Amino acid sequence: MNSNNEQCYIAFEPKEVHMTLIENINSLFGGQDVGQQAAVQRAMAHVLKLHAELDEEKLAQILQAASKTKVAVRPGIPVPKAVKVEVKKEDLETVENIFRHAFQIYKIQRPFFARVLLTAYFLHLREENARLGVPEEPVSTDTGEDNFAGGDDALFRFRVSVEIADMLLRNAPEDKIYIRQILEMAKKRGIP
């Protein structure tokens, strides 16, 4: 097996904040590929993309800002005993080195690593959705903070999906502008 394709795992014991970030990311992303693994893999891919585009100091600033960002926990969110995510070993080593530089640390605690990765990606998706004009639905929690609900209501999401599918299949002239916007959002997210 080629060492460039060698797989390994990121495993950590999640807290409510990790699961909230995963739920928020999946809601904001809006694609079919959702779940714990997908959210962490996309978050890691986002950091690798930034690594290719930015200098080390700018990337370090983004990660440091993400580490200081407080995320309101969703009430009653289920928390599994562990999260285990398969990733490319080479990618994990690169991101770990980015973290070591950004935080001037040698040993990386997995829960911290996962929280910062997920927070950086969550903040990116919020910013991207705002740029694309995708509305955000704030929910007030008992902490008094705003949090992203992102359409947790399965029935609501189903109805919206049916309406979008109907619009795409019908391909009516009055829907062309919306179809173009949907395709543009999908293209920016890398959804084929």
Of 59, 55, 54, 34, which Cα lies nearest the Cα of 116? 59
* Tens place of pLDDT per residue across the chain (192 aa): 455 679 999 999 999 999 999 999 988 887 655 678 999 999 999 999 999 999 999 999 999 999 999 999 988 899 999 999 999 999 999 999 999 999 999 999 999 999 999 999 999 998 888 877 776 654 333 333 444 444 444 545 555 665 666 666 777 776 677 777 777 777 776 665
Of 95, 18, 17, which Cα lies nearest the Cα of 60? 95
Helices 154-170 and 176-189, packing angle to 10 deg: 120
Q: Is 131 helix (H, G, I), strand (E, B) or coil?
A: helix
Which are the contacts of 189, defined by CB distance < 8 A and separation ≥ 6?
Answer: 29, 30, 31
Query: Looking at the DSSP assignment, which residues form a beta bridge with residue 117?
Result: none
Are 150 and 27 spatial neighbours (Cβ–Cβ below 8 Å)?
Answer: yes
